[in-house]
Amino acid sequence: MSVQNELDQAHERILDALAALIIPAEGQRPSGADVGFAGYVRQQGSLGWLLPGLDSLAQAASEQGVAPFHELDRAQQQTIVDGLKRKQFRFYGELANQLMLCYYQHEHVMPAIGMEARAPFPLGYYPIDGDFSLLEPVYERGQIYREC
């Protein structure tokens, strides 16, 4: 599809369809496509890992001769993804990681999953007081790292 290092509209459509396939909308919870994932990966800078994977999805859909990947129904998209997962496990691993990072930072996701949408500080999250004697084996083990 493309040899450039930037997302064009075709890439964005495929990325949105893929993000919605990975995280579908459910109730109040937005889909992966509804959280601005394309903008997020654009901000990350390096698209070298992303573009070849998106191109392979476009090519696989083209080989089926039905429609572009983003126009296929969910079942057809899933079939294509399943066929490519083993060959491109690094792409799908990085995609899932980046999508999760983007998704759970979005202001509409946190309330939808029952959490307050705010930064952890200055309000902070405090650890629950517990029995610190449970850490005794760790203290007794001693130093297990090398001083630099």
Kindly write down the DSSP assignment for every residue of 30-75, as one continuous string: PPGGGG-HHHHHHHH---TTHHHHHHHHHHHHHHHTS--GGGS-HH
The structure tokens listed for 114 are: 């029952």
Residue 71 CA to residue 13 CA, distance in Å, equals: 9
Mean pLDDT for the stretch of residues 5-32: 90
C-alpha of 130 from chain center? 34
The answer on pLDDT for 2 being more than 50 is no
Q: Average pLDDT over the chain, rounded to whole?
A: 84
pLDDT tens by residue, 26-82 = 988 999 999 999 889 888 877 788 999 999 999 999 998 778 999 999 999 999 999
Percent of the chain with pLDDT over 70: 88
Rounded CA separation 66/56 (Å): 16
60's CB contacts (< 8 A; 6+ apart) are: 69, 80, 83, 84
Provide the pLDDT for residue 99.
94
Specify the range with the lowest mean pLDDT, choosing from 70-79, 80-89, 123-132. Answer: 123-132
Written as one string, the DSSP assignment of 65-128 is TS--GGGS-HHHHHHHHHHHHTTTHHHHHHHHHHHHHHHTTSTTHHHHTT---S-STTT---PP
Query: Is the model's pLDDT at 1 over the cut of 60?
Result: no
Side-chain half-sphere CA neighbours of 48 within 13 A: 1
pTM recorded for the entire structure: 0.72
> Are the C-beta atoms of 15 and 41 separated by less than 8 Å?
yes
* pLDDT above 60 (res 11): yes
Quick one: CA torsion of 40, 44, 48, 50, rounded to 10 degrees? -20
pLDDT of residue 115: 79
